[in-house]
Amino acid sequence: MDVIPAIDLLNGLCVRLYQGDYAQSQVFNDNPVEVAMQWVEQGATRLHIVDLDGAKTGQVVNHKVIEAIASAVPVPIQVGGGLRDFASVEQLLNLGVQRAILGTIAVEQPQLVADLCQAFPHQIAIGIDARNGKVATRGWLETSEVLATDLARQMQDLGAATIIYTDIHRDGTLQGPNLEALRELAQAISIPIIASGGVSSVTDLLSLLALEPSGVNGAIVGRVLYTGDISLKQAIQAVGQGRWQDVPPDLGSSAFA
């Protein structure tokens, strides 16, 4: 399972939001390229970047920063936020981004998703951000009536390479990932799932590791790295070793029943 550091961009700065609330943003660094290089130096094999300005406005805003990150690091980067037409996705991939993450258009324009999956095989991921099991869109500002599991099945059928699942109520809260929702999603589809939101400790990562056989093969980690509560090196090492002795008994048994 990959441990994937998150870099959220707002006004060109590296920030973190609380439960997706733009009014509750905290700036961690004014140089996102420097942040990206630091994560790679500490062992990151992939970076997750979100253009928060783009997610809100419906068009990619932080092109220059994204291109600078892609040029500065030797690992693949995946980017989402504001990708709502064919040209925007093509432009982003031409900047050196390895994988484009589609969100809102997965709900509103499934045929466009199908066209993109055909044009850019293995480079299209679907970001499913959910509140109480229903998909949120437009930078988490709106909540649809579409169930996350139903959307995931549809996107798999259209050719998506992977699903990136975020439980909005857990994002930025350090309350732990929503394991139940992830298990339900893994049972619904066969393509890989990357979990996002709520990771607060190495124990949380190990609980996600237990879901790897069912299809959860990555964990996006944000605030806990920026606050220094855990180090990226520590997280990668723990996942690599699968140190189950560090996991409370309930996580190793009934929690995964």
CB 53 within 8 A of CB 81: yes
Question: How far apart are the C-alpha atoms of 160 and 146, rounded to whole Å?
Answer: 18
Question: How far apart are the C-alpha atoms of 25 and 21, rounded to whole Å?
Answer: 7
171 is catalytic: no
Question: How far apart are the C-alpha atoms of 221 and 233, rounded to whole Å?
Answer: 12
Q: Which residues contact 202 (CB under 8 A, 6 or more apart)?
A: 230, 234, 235, 238, 246
DSSP letter assigned to residue 245: G
CB 172 within 8 A of CB 222: yes
Question: How far apart are the C-alpha atoms of 209 and 203, rounded to whole Å?
Answer: 10
Name the catalytic one among 8, 53, 167, 171: 8
129 is catalytic: yes
Name the catalytic one among 51, 129, 167, 171: 129
Catalytic residues: 8, 129
